[in-house]
Amino acid sequence: MSTHETPLLGAYALGVLDDDERAAVQRHLADCAECRVELQALEEVRDMAGELPEEALLDGPPDDGDLLLARTLRQVRSEANASRNRSIAIAGVAAAVVLAAVLGTGVVIGRSTSTPVAQPTVTVGPTETQNAKTRFLSGSDPNTGARLTAKVVPAAGWVRLNVSVTGIPAGERCRVVVVSKDGTREEAGSWLVSPDGAQKGTNLDGAALIAPDDVGSVEIITTEGKRYVSVSA
């Protein structure tokens, strides 16, 4: 990805990328403020689509909704076979899912003729506000050759993480550790590096009981205490 080529952002927001693509996007986001703003907007659209009231779906999906989505998916699968079209294909399925969720529901609401049902007021909750403070950290260790890219998402007094790690040999038992500014250490996850993970890298999710503003760094260490890589917040 370059500064002006961001077709994977929509797919990243929907969580449909593979590990290598997700790591590439996270590395780009760590250095590109413009794309971080665009990603935030995409995530807000995704969240709004997921929070539509159940009453909006009383009449079911549009009659041709499944057919449209099926055609789109067939086209995407065909395009994905050619590596040069992979980014376009993924972006296409991301757009199809978002449009199906938002525009499809709008059609259902518009054609309903039954007695109107009072809709709950949609308000911006703490999660949407906190997502604006999501941080992307990336770095490598020249001594070990390991590289770490971490997405740190604020929650109420704690943080969620998604990390992509490369450059660690198979068989190592590793931990993701979040270190606070005062030195407090909280484990956010652990895994055994597989042969595939050693070649292609590993991606995993985790959480740590450290306040978002107190996060000082994220590091990867083995169960024996060897530190492979650390990135500062």
pLDDT (average), residues 215-233:
96
Q: Residue 4 to residues 1, 87, 106, 137: CA-CA distances in angstroms?
A: 8, 14, 31, 21
The pLDDT score that the predictor gives to residue 11 is 77
Lowest mean pLDDT among 28-42, 54-68, 107-121: 107-121
Q: Mean pLDDT over residues 65-75, rounded?
A: 55
* Residue 41 near residue 10, CB atoms below 8 Å: no
31-59 pLDDT per residue, tens: 887 787 777 777 776 766 555 555 544 55
Q: Do residues 81 and 146 both lie within one domain?
A: no
Range of the domain at 197: 133-232
Residues 183 and 222 occupy one common structural domain: yes
Residue 160 lies in a domain: yes
Same domain, 153 and 208: yes
Split into its structural domains, the chain has a count of: 2
Is the domain of 208 the same as that of 140?
yes
pLDDT band at 143 (very low <50, low <70, confident <90, very high): very high
Q: How far apart are CA 30 and CA 51, in angstroms?
A: 28
Does the pTM surpass 0.85? The reply is no
Confidence of residue 12 (pLDDT cuts 50, 70, 90): confident
Residue 128 lies in a domain: no
Average pLDDT over the chain, rounded to an integer: 74
Which CATH number characterizes residue 201's domain? 2.60.40.150
Residues 147 and 60 in one domain: no
Q: Is the pLDDT of residue 93 over 70?
A: no
The contacts of residue 226 (CB under 8 Å, 6+ apart) are none
Domain presence at residue 182: yes
Higher pLDDT, 86 or 191: 191
Whether 3 maps to a domain, the answer reads: no
